[in-house]
Amino acid sequence: MLERLDYTKNAKSRQEWEQLLLTAGLRTDPPYTAVYGIYREGQLIATGARDGARIKCVAIHHDYRGGTVFHELLSGMIHDALNEGVNKLFLYTTSDAVRSFEQLGFRLIAQIDHGICFMERGTPNIDDFILSLSEQRNHYEREHGATFGPVESIVMNANPFTKGHRALVENALSRSERLHLFILSEDASSVPANIRRRLVMEGTADLSGIIYHPTDSYIISRAHFPSYFLKRESDTTRTQARLDAVLFRDKIAPALGITHRTVGDETDDAVTALYNACLAQEFQESIQLSVIPRKQTADGKSISASRVRQLLLSGKLDEIEPLVPATTFRYFKSPAGEELVRSWKK
């Protein structure tokens, strides 16, 4: 029977769990919402973990592979997630395990060489997401008319929206009459998703040709790209970044007719720099990638959202004014903006 493992407080349980992962060629991969196990005659024979909607660290003792234990483990984990209101699940696996996961309702949505696959289970799924993007585009074109020529795209977190982000948008629009602007949906940042989206839209309201999109779980999401948020540079991060790029290239870009993508140059953040490199690798001959130097202030310093947050935390509100659009500055001068900054200090 499947049970949750109290591996943090029980040394014996933790040792058994780590040993089973080791024999399966896996390593621990925190954080975890829950860690699961199945015992037979006092021996841990199967384990798996979940971080929110992401399943990971699935290992079966070699004596029990090929039987019903895998199905028992995953079925139990799926049931437990559903009981907690998690209706969509994601996982990485190798190509030889895809069929086993498909039998439990998972679906392959991206794959790179060496057989690394990204799968999902539940609804709304990738098809629903693509349909919603297409509907946004169609609605915009009914209102403003269709366009021809290059179609640009940008993905941004905008935590918060700065003049650097604004310069990126202006640069992309200098090459295209249409820009699909994706704003990260997840609340994994200092500025909540709804505020980030609002500040992006307010800060670009005078520009034409922009269609604003959410990213859901399919572009730089913790569900499939946790290293981006954990800022962990590793082979795993490269795999996650390449899968993110392939998903954009093969599913999202074709649905919207995207031909170009613009990113900011990155010299300080190794994970974002690696991500840009993976985009360049996977976009060859399909999407033209433009890497734009960071916008700088008069004193030669690069504008970044992290710099803006540091100034806000230091109480130097007036010093962010040269770094952000008037709409962003106005928000952080407001009672709501002041309260948000206070919440960062708690």
Identify the three-state secondary structure at position 170. Answer: helix
For residue 108, is it within any domain?
no
For residue 203, is it within any domain?
yes
CATH of the domain at 31: 3.40.630.30
For residues 170 and 279, state if they share a domain. Answer: yes
For residue 251, is it within any domain?
yes
Name the pLDDT band for 64 (thresholds 50, 70, 90): very high
In the prediction, which pLDDT does 159 show? 96
Give me the mean pLDDT over the 88-104 stretch: 94
In the prediction, which pLDDT does 188 show? 82
For residue 192, is it within any domain?
yes
Encode pLDDT of 181-200 as tens digits.
999 998 888 999 999 999 99
Give me the mean pLDDT over the 195-223 stretch: 94
For residues 53 and 172, state if they share a domain. Answer: no
In the prediction, which pLDDT does 226 show? 65
Query: Phi and psi of 2, rounded to 5°?
Result: -70, 140
Between 176 and 93, residue with greater pLDDT: 176
Write the CB contacts of 151 (distance below 8 Å, at least 6 apart in sequence). Answer: 176, 178, 179, 180, 256, 257, 258, 259, 260
For residue 100, is it within any domain?
no
In the prediction, which pLDDT does 237 show? 83
In the prediction, which pLDDT does 189 show? 87
Between 9 and 207, residue with greater pLDDT: 207
| Count of structural domains, the chain | 2
In the prediction, which pLDDT does 66 show? 86
Q: What percent of the chain has pLDDT over 70?
A: 97
For residue 114, is it within any domain?
no
Q: Using the 3D structure, point to which of 58, 86, 114 is the last residue of a domain.
A: 86
Computed over every residue of the chain, the mean pLDDT equals: 93
Check pLDDT > 70 for residue 336.
Answer: yes
Give me the mean pLDDT over the 92-113 stretch: 94
Check pLDDT > 90 for residue 99.
Answer: yes
Between 280 and 268, residue with greater pLDDT: 280
Lowest mean pLDDT among 164-178, 233-247, 294-308: 233-247
Give me the mean pLDDT over the 206-215 stretch: 97
For residues 24 and 149, state if they share a domain. Answer: no
For residues 156 and 278, state if they share a domain. Answer: yes
Give the count of beta carbons closer than 10 Å to the beta carbon of residue 243.
Answer: 22
In the prediction, which pLDDT does 26 show? 87
Name the pLDDT band for 150 (thresholds 50, 70, 90): very high
Give me the mean pLDDT over the 241-270 stretch: 93
Name the pLDDT band for 321 (thresholds 50, 70, 90): very high
Could you tell me what percentage of the chain is helix, strand and coil, using 3-state DSSP and rounding each to the nearest 5? 45, 20, 35
213 vs 34, 52, 181, 199, 263, CA distance in Å?
32, 23, 6, 14, 16
Query: Phi and psi of 209, rounded to 5°?
Result: 95, 5
For residues 79 and 134, state if they share a domain. Answer: no
Write the CB contacts of 147 (distance below 8 Å, at least 6 apart in sequence). Answer: 141, 177, 178, 209
For residue 99, is it within any domain?
no
334 vs 58, 159, 160, 173, 212, CA distance in Å?
48, 17, 15, 31, 25
For residue 234, is it within any domain?
yes
For residues 233 and 294, state if they share a domain. Answer: yes
Check pLDDT > 70 for residue 224.
Answer: no
- Range of the structural domain that residue 18 is part of: 2-86
Check pLDDT > 80 for residue 319.
Answer: yes
CATH of the domain at 291: 3.40.50.620
